[in-house]
Chains A and B, each alone.
Chain A
Amino acid sequence: GENVEQHPSTLSVQEGDSAVIKCTYSDSASNYFPWYKQELGKGPQLIIDIRSNVGEKKDQRIAVTLNKTAKHFSLHITETQPEDSAVYFCAASKRGKLIFGQGTELSVKP
């Protein structure tokens, strides 16, 4: 069935360092890959997404890469700040419904 694996489950970095979160999906028909940030007590917030016809997308300190052949996609956050601390979820989508990874708890230490 459809499955998204996300690693690592927890990630601790020093302020200013980079953070990388990786996901693997199983359904080769997936064509849309969003990333969400969830802060405590709030709903998931869309931070960046990539479509299957694009290999890389960047938005200020955040970038996402997609390798369709390997069915891998990754989130890169540069120059991390304490306010980046949250749980990050990757997802893969086919025909609208999102299949989520298990989440990565990112902690940025000042």
Chain B
Amino acid sequence: DSGVTQTPKHLITATGQRVTLRCSPRSGDLSVYWYQQSLDQGLQFLIQYYNGEERAKGNILERFSAQQFPDLHSELNLSSLELGDSALYFCASSVGFRAGGIYEQFFGPGTRLTVL
């Protein structure tokens, strides 16, 4: 158990809908990362937040957005869902973020999203 929690575990929805995935980082961690895992794209970095502020962006679609709240939990919002958005979504957390710094990332159990 990494200490990172994600809810829900599974989510089934229809095309065009909007969903929210939630992540609570390990106690004491200030940085949260979101990743998408699909069969064709593998594990891909989406976005990172540190202490409430966006720090880095990857291949995140404009239909997707995220935020980190004052209690440090994070939410990933996916809208206008398409069949191709079906994937596992993982949250990871690390202690901090400093330019050039190296911090181990610990992953949560993931949310499996199925778009029908």
- Which residues of chain A are within 8 angstroms of B43 by Cβ–Cβ distance? 44, 89, 98, 100, 103
A51 neighbours in B (Cβ, 8 Å): 102
Q: How far is B33's CA from A100's CA once the two chains are assembled, in angstroms?
A: 14
Q: 1/0 per position for A13-52, CB-CB distance to B under 8 A?
A: 0000000000000000001101010000011111001010
Contact A46 B104 (CB under 8 A): yes
Name A96's contact: one of B4, B90, B103 (CB within 8 Å): B103
| A42 with B109, Cβ < 8 A, contacts A95-B99, A97-B56, A99-B45 known | yes
A46, A97, A100: most-surrounded residue (chain B CB, <10 A): A97
Among A45, A96, A100, A102, the residue within 8 A (CB) of B48 is A96
B97 at the binding interface (Cβ < 8 Å): yes
In angstroms, Cα B104 to Cα A31, docked, is 12
User: Closest CB of chain B to A97's CB: distance in Å?
Assistant: 5
Does B16 sit within 8 A of A, measured CB to CB? no
Q: Number of A residues whose C-beta is below 8 Å from B?
A: 22
Work out how many contacts link A and B, with CB atoms closer than 8 A: 58
Partner among A98, A101, A102 whose Cβ is within 8 Å of the Cβ of B105: A98
CA distance A100 to B107 in the complex (A): 14
Across the interface, do B42 and A43 meet the contact criterion of CB distance under 8 Å?
A: no
Indicate if A65 sits at the interface (CB-CB under 8 A). Answer: no
Answer yes or no: B2 CB below 8 A from chain A CBs. Answer: yes
* Other 6 A-B pairs with CB < 8 A, given A46-B106, A46-B107: A34-B104, A45-B2, A46-B104, A49-B104, A97-B58, A98-B43
Residues of B within 8 A of A (CB): 2, 4, 31, 33, 35, 42-45, 48, 55-56, 58, 90, 94, 97, 99-110
- 21 CB contacts below 8 A, A to B, read A31-B102, A34-B104, A36-B107, A42-B110, A43-B4, A43-B108, A43-B109, A43-B110, A44-B43, A46-B107, A49-B104, A89-B43, A95-B100, A96-B31, A96-B33, A96-B48, A96-B94, A96-B97, A96-B101, A97-B33, A101-B42
